[in-house]
């Protein structure tokens, strides 16, 4: 994102007359609430973290049943010697002992013809060095992709904010590609390939190009590669860099994050609590996985998009506004602890207040301005109305127009294009074209209206923003007293109760033993420390 956000919107905090002491207190409480979770994450690994490590070392492909070799190998290692010491030591020890490459070791393990051990002493040191050398190749590829992206952005420049974010969701990667290219030609700056419904609950990443998916397309390494290549071609055609987004969430969050870095995706949906709340994935599994995945994003220069908008689809957008602010502050803490910078924090919020509520637009402006004031250097991601779209496409088109106007007034960095056919059909290309016209009309006619827009210092908007911030501080104090895991278990966020020792994927969480080794995690920690 550009440096203009702070210069344009740095005075929002003063306009709303937000107390700097209260803001500092809110951030301190978020750190205090999040720190025990980070400590817990550092003491555990997961099957997906270990599989991601193998992917970074170059292990690709699947067996005849379509099960990835990384799954087969991690499962056998866990069965024979456990994962308390990580997958790297036993696997690279076997590679050195048998003079085999990683794929052959995986195939032998799956066939039952290989026995693993936890090496000690000199053998452990040799295995650790060999593993680090192999994994370094993946890290170098991620680093090279980041440099190449920076080179392309230097060549083409960044589009003005907000970046126009538009989705494709056919289920067929070969249909997604021409739709994505058409959207880019019509003015979209960011293309998001919606993931097939339910993939977040799969404990493996499908292999290869996929042509069937429900309400979206499977996130696979080959699909990432195909779409990135297609958008690079379109970027050259248009003379501007078109960014690509997918989802690093669910049971395979670390793996998908690693694949995104290896294939030069630019943004990833990556929220610290989304999988817990809306997919019933175990909280500990999620926090361990999200820390590793965010470290990958930090190294790869990927912008994350968080999922606060989802809370407002299950909870009332007025009554629960402060939970969005709390989640934004927690997401900021977890992201920065993992090494992400302000320009990589696409913190989420959404235009989801019932339009029949009196002064709903003023309330939306208050919430959006509060987010901008709290995070002046972050490219906030502003989500369009969905919950209260009725199927009346004319009303929906107008509703989206108000959403776009709020974005123009409050300096959102990433604006997801709202569709008038929301809740009716999967949008047609013509729907996307009309939606883009709506965005262009509002932003062309509003111009620099944000320079003139100043809510009354003690008026409705400013008072509402201060009220929400105060409620957020009160909630954070309760979270600190009870612990974040207890708060999640009690249904504090999105009205979903998710206990720490329940949920999908809990059996994939492993407590580390003394001597645990993961060169990928070590290299990522070293990067954060630099």
Residues labelled as active-site residues: 274, 309, 381
- Distance (Å, whole) CA 268 – CA 166: 14
Count of beta carbons in the 10 Å neighbourhood of residue 14: 11
Nearest Cα residue to 100 out of 87, 118, 113? 113
User: Which two structure tokens, joined as six digits, stand for 341?
Assistant: 């910078």
Q: Are 369 and 412 in contact (CB under 8 A)?
A: no
Q: At what angle do helices 121-156 and 88-98 cross, to 10 degrees?
A: 110
H or E stretch covering 305: strand 303-305
Nearest Cα residue to 226 out of 200, 244, 248? 244
Residue 66, classed as helix, strand or coil, is coil
What distances in angstroms separate CA 82 from CA 42, 345, 522, one per listed residue?
A: 18, 36, 20
- Distance (Å, whole) CA 66 – CA 48: 17
- Distance (Å, whole) CA 379 – CA 223: 26
Q: Are 9 and 372 in contact (CB under 8 A)?
A: yes
- Distance (Å, whole) CA 82 – CA 530: 32
User: Which two structure tokens, joined as six digits, stand for 242?
Assistant: 């078109």
User: Which two structure tokens, joined as six digits, stand for 189?
Assistant: 């700056």
Q: In Å, how far from its chain's centre is CA 223? A: 18
């Amino acid at each position: 994102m550009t440096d203009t956000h702070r210069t344009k919107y740095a005075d929002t905090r003063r306009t709303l007359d937000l107390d700097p002491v209260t803001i500092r207190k809110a951030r301190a409480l978020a750190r205090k609430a999040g720190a025990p979770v980070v400590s817990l994450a550092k003491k555990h690994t997961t099957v997906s973290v270990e599989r991601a490590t193998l992917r970074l070392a170059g292990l690709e492909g699947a067996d005849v049943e379509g099960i990835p070799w990384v799954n087969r190998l991690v499962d056998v290692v866990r069965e024979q010697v456990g994962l308390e010491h990580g997958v790297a030591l036993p696997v690279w020890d076997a590679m050195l002992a048998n003079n085999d490459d990683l794929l052959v070791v995986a195939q032998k393990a799956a066939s039952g013809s290989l026995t693993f051990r936890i090496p000690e002493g000199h053998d452990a040191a040799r295995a650790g060095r060999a593993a680090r050398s192999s994994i370094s190749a993946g890290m170098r590829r991620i680093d090279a992709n980041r440099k190449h992206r920076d080179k392309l952005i230097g060549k083409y420049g960044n589009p003005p904010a907000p970046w126009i974010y538009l989705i494709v969701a056919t289920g067929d990667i070969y249909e997604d590609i021409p739709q994505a290219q058409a959207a880019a030609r019509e003015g979209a700056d960011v293309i998001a390939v919606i993931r097939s419904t339910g993939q977040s609950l799969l404990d493996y990443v499908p292999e290869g190009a996929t042509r069937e998916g429900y309400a979206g397309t499977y996130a696979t390494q080959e699909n990432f590669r195909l779409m990135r290549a297609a958008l690079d071609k379109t970027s050259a055609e248009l003379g501007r860099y078109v960014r690509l987004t997918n989802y690093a969430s669910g049971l395979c969050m670390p793996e998908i994050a690693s694949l995104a870095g290896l294939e030069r995706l630019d943004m990833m949906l990556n929220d610290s609590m989304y999988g817990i709340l809306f997919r019933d994935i175990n909280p500990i599994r999620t926090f361990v996985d999200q820390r590793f995945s965010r470290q990958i994003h930090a190294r790869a220069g990927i912008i994350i998009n968080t999922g606060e908008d989802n809370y407002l689809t299950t909870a009332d957008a007025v009554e629960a506004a402060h939970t969005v602010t709390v989640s934004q502050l927690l997401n900021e803490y977890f992201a920065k602890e993992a090494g992400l910078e302000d320009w990589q924090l696409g913190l989420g919020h959404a235009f989801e207040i019932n339009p029949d509520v009196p002064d709903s637009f003023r309330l939306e402006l208050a919430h959006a301005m509060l987010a901008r004031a709290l995070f002046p250097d972050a490219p906030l991601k502003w989500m369009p109305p969905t919950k209260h779209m009725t199927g009346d496409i004319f009303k929906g088109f107008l509703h989206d127009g108000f959403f776009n106007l709020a974005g123009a007034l409050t300096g959102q960095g990433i604006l997801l294009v709202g569709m008038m056919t929301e809740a009716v059909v999967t949008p047609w290309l013509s729907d996307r074209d009309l939606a883009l016209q709506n965005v262009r009309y509002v932003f062309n006619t509003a111009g620099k209206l944000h320079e003139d827009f100043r809510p009354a210092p003690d008026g409705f908007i400013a008072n509402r923003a201060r009220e929400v911030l105060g409620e957020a501080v009160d909630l954070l104090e309760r979270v600190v007293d009870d612990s974040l895991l207890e708060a999640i278990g009690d249904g504090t966020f999105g009205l979903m109760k998710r206990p720490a020792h329940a949920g999908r994927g809990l059996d994939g969480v492993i407590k580390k033993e003394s001597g645990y080794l993961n060169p990928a995690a070590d290299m990522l920690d070293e990067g954060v420390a630099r």
